[in-house]
Amino acid sequence: MINFTDDQIKEISQNLDAGMRSFYNTETGEIKILPDFENHLYAEREMWAEDIEEIDSKFDKYVVFELMQSHQSYKIMEEFIETVDDNKLQNRLLNSISRSKPFRNFHNEIDNSGKYRQCWFEFKDQKYIEWVKNQIEVFNFKKNTKVSI
């Protein structure tokens, strides 16, 4: 079983929110981050070569934290909209995610929403922390579960 500090969980969640892949070394407690090269075509692997080699050579010593997929991020936006107590803003946000390019539309609306902008960031941060904690629980469960035949 591995335990993470709140600061480590927050660091991992912020990395994931920024689109970076996070890797936790179970022996050293070090967190390494790498761009998601599949979705960031312009990220230069050479800049990250040392970390890539380290992770690849000791992959069994790392816990890999998964990025959210777009449908999961979309769900977070939906959940946030349900918490908005301003009916006009709530309707604009619902409309924004029902059109094409829902993420861009949502962010345009929320960026111009006054106090709700900060509420969104806090809500999203909490959801990413929960996302990381869930992955930690799954890892610890798998590590402590013995398979018998």
Determine the structural domain holding residue 94 and report its residue range: 70-126
Q: Annotate 32-61 with b (16+ C-beta within 10 A) or e (fewer).
A: bbbbeeeeeeebeeeebeeeeebbeeeeee
Residue 28 lies in a domain: yes
pLDDT one-digit tens code per residue, 37-95: 877 667 788 888 999 999 999 999 999 999 999 999 999 999 999 999 999 999 999 99
Both 121 and 80 in a single domain? yes
Contacts (Cβ under 8 Å, ≥6 apart) of 96: 102, 105, 106, 108, 109
pTM: 0.87
Residue 140 lies in a domain: no
Helix axes 115-144, 70-83, angle to 10 degrees: 130
Tokens of 95: 């409309």
